[in-house]
Amino acid sequence: MPLTASETRDALAKLGVHPKHALGQNFLIDGNIVRKSLELAKVAPGDRVVEVGPGLGTLTRTLLEAGAEVWAVERDAMLARYLSEEVAPLHAGRLHLLVADAMDHPIADIPDPLTRPFKVVANLPYAISTPWMDAVLEGPLPERLVLMLQYEAAQRYMARPGSKLFGSISIFLQSAFDLAPGHKVSGHCFHPRPDVDSYLFNIVRKPQPLLFPRRSKMAIRACFQQRRKQIGTLLRGLLPDGGRAWIDSLVAAGLSPTVRPEDIPLHLWQTFPSLGASASEPAADSAPASPSA
């Protein structure tokens, strides 16, 4: 069962743990939201699930009780020891705990991610949400992600062309995943209460997900770093030929070279030149996505 607010406070006090803002430690204390996370993720017995920042294991326990096998990455050594002693022994080897930084191990070193489906269900530390998502989008991809996020981050991920929030992360994520209905979450559902609203973000891998090569991603990010400039001007400094062929495809679609990055439709960004990797960098983004479940 999920830990209640009083059980969470008591456990933290017993451990002498003070939630660290720098690590984004806001512990989920609402059992209804925990159960909603599993419902959105369609967790079933035998599912392989990655969890990031399990903390005291409120979500972890519920995943294990639902019959999932969980690979969790936790940076806080004291919390990891608590999970190893209090949670893992109750579930017959189905909790695999990695004491590490999730930015170095974004999918918790789950085995065979290219050939065996897996999901991600996590109360994601807000400070790492976008760089962590970028790392996940290098593949191999989970079949589904249900993430507790800062509402502002979720808005950027879901933003559509024409919005001031539409940016490179919107393009990369929506090219690989379909957005599914989520759930706005009040700060009252956490201890300590965060200063911002949260969102239970729910996405499903596309049948044919698109992963951008790393150098293409760098060029697209650069466009949005100067988002008030015209795309024709931006590409002259980013692509060897100024992106002439791609600009021609925008014109053929009824757009002008004076259009700004945020006003270019997603399907046209998906045809952005595939720059590949340079000789000095790995082609991580070229890795094939995991097979459809």
Task: List, for residues 103-145, the tens digit of each pLDDT value.
Answer: 999 999 999 999 999 999 999 988 899 999 999 999 999 999 9
Give the tens place of pLDDT for each residue, 58-113.
Answer: 999 999 999 999 999 999 999 999 999 999 999 999 999 999 999 999 999 999 99
> Is 292 among the domain residues?
no
CATH number at residue 121: 3.40.50.150
| pLDDT at position 288 over 90 | no
Q: Are the CB atoms for 159 and 181 separated by under 8 Å?
A: no
Residues 80, 185: one domain? yes
C-alpha closest to that of 5 among 222, 241, 191: 191
Number of domains forming the structure of the chain: 2
Q: Which of 171, 205, 239 is the last residue of a domain?
A: 205
Residues 32 and 84 grouped into a single domain: yes
If asked whether residues 77 and 145 sit together in one domain, one would say yes
Residue 28 domain-assigned (yes or no)? yes
Are residues 185 and 234 part of one domain?
Answer: no
Q: 168-176 and 151-158 helices cross at what angle (nearest 10)?
A: 70
Q: Which domain covers residue 277, as residue numbers?
A: 214-286
**Amino acid letter, 266:** L
Together in a domain, 99 and 169: yes
**pLDDT digit string, tens, across residues 187-218:** 999 998 888 899 999 999 999 999 999 999 99
CA 232 to chain centre: 31
Which of 255-288 are b and which e, b meaning 16 or more Cβ less than 10 Å from the residue's Cβ?
Answer: bebebbbbebeeebbeebbebeeeeeeeeebeee
Are 244 and 264 part of one and the same domain? yes
Query: Are 53 and 75 contacting, i.e. CB atoms less than 8 angstroms apart?
Result: yes
Angstrom distance (rounded) from CA 251 to CA 243: 12
Residue 171 counted as domain residue:
yes
**Is the domain of 192 the same as that of 229?**
no
Look at residues 171, 163, 162 and name the one whose alpha carbon lies nearest to residue 221: 171
Residue 188 lies in a domain: yes
Instruction: Give the separation between CA 178 and CA 160, rounded to whole angstroms.
Output: 13
pLDDT-derived band at 33 (thresholds 50, 70, 90) equals very high
- Total residue length of the chain: 293
Question: Quick one: 92 and 168 in the same domain?
Answer: yes
CATH number at residue 248: 1.10.8
